[in-house]
Structure 1
Amino acid sequence: MSDSRLSSKISWDYESTTMAKKVKNRIIIVRLVSMAMTGFFYTMRRPRTSSPMGLLKYDPIVRKKVLFLETKKRNR
């Protein structure tokens, strides 16, 4: 069998072939950064559709409860 005969039977139409869109996760990982500017942070998960998080949590560097606001966690 010749490879040229096989390759002539298989023809792909690359222009009409499209890939499916990537499905996004329903849960995202966010970083809650201390507003006391100590650099301390918590990492949490939240639903993608909910509003950005802001929580009062304990910051061990200043030893008080302070406001933590959300930033997206960067992937490395």
Structure 2
Amino acid sequence: MHLLRGVKLGLFDDATAMTKFQVWHNEHEANVARRNEEHRSKQRAKKAYVPVVKKVETKTEEAAPAVEGNEEA
């Protein structure tokens, strides 16, 4: 619409307007394709299998009573 207004005002002719539109359209399509690919790659990363790993706690010294303090007495 903006390009057609420029043609009406006599700023440039129809051929120049069409050339400018084609350049804009090609850039726009490339940007849309790039954004779609980025979105797809993020979705693939989310769907990737990640195994669940739980941390195992060991109880070694907590169960044994502290005897060191009573030996000297």
Query: Normalising by structure 2, what TM-score?
Result: 0.29
Q: Larger Cα Rg: Structure 1 or Structure 2?
A: 2
Q: Relative contact order (alpha carbons < 8 A, sep ≥ 6): 1 or 2 greater?
A: 1
More helix by share: 2
More strand by share: 1
